[in-house]
Amino acid sequence: MAAELSQSEAGLAGAIIAVLFVRAEAISVTDLAHTLELTREEVEQAAGAGAALLEGTGLMLQSHRDELQLVTHPQAAWAVERALRPEVASRLSKPALETLAIIAYRQPITRVAIEAIRGVNCEAVLESLTRHGLIAEVGREDGPGRPRLFGTTLRFLQVVGISQVDDLPPLRGVDAGSWLGRAAELGEPDAQ
């Protein structure tokens, strides 16, 4: 793909990758545009080119909502984990995995809607998933009491090993536990 990009496109994509590498955290497209004195559209195009440049490497560009982050590709995570020797991973319970799958596919979603699907109280599970950094409040629903809306986070993408929520497998014929298998073991996030 690098040969198909013009020198200026490749340079801009490389600059965005470099900024994301140095920052080692998620950065909003708006902040990147401001920092690099570019438009949002230019940053989004360059990020797409950067993602293509990273194909086949041990890194990938994650995009979630308005944020971009440079992370270790799941296929290379084993090497990074060995190098960093992370602590023994804790495990997510089956109810937590079920709740996480519901949120991933139905986001944004309220606690009441999750409980209607699962048929049980999910307050403690939601607190646990929030504590693990896999979900977060993404807004409030209009209506009585303005209930919180939950959605997945960049940490969720890292753990599951996808670059964006749109990469989730289709629901039909998929065992949610199989693609969330990595989410069951929560050690350190994939290295930057």
Using one digit for the tens of pLDDT, what is the confidence trace for 141-163? 998 999 999 999 988 988 888 88
Residue position matching structure tokens 């990009």 = 5
Q: Does residue 108 sit in the same domain as residue 133? A: yes
Domain annotation covers residue 192: no
Q: For the segment 72-126, what is each residue's pLDDT rounded down to a tens digit? A: 888 888 787 777 654 434 578 889 999 999 999 999 999 999 999 999 999 999 9
Strand partners, 90: 186
Residue 113 shares a structural domain with residue 177: yes
Higher-confidence position of 171 and 124? 124
- Whether 81 and 92 have beta carbons less than 8 Å apart is answered as no
Q: Total structural domains in the chain?
A: 2
Query: Degrees (nearest 5) of the Cα angle 5, 154, 99?
Result: 135
Range of the domain at 12: 2-79
**pLDDT class for 5, splitting at 50, 70, 90?**
low
> Where is the domain boundary, 37, 53, 79?
79
Place of tokens 């753990």: 159
Alpha carbon distance 105, 188 (integer Å):
24
Tell how strand 109-110 and strand 148-152 pair up: antiparallel
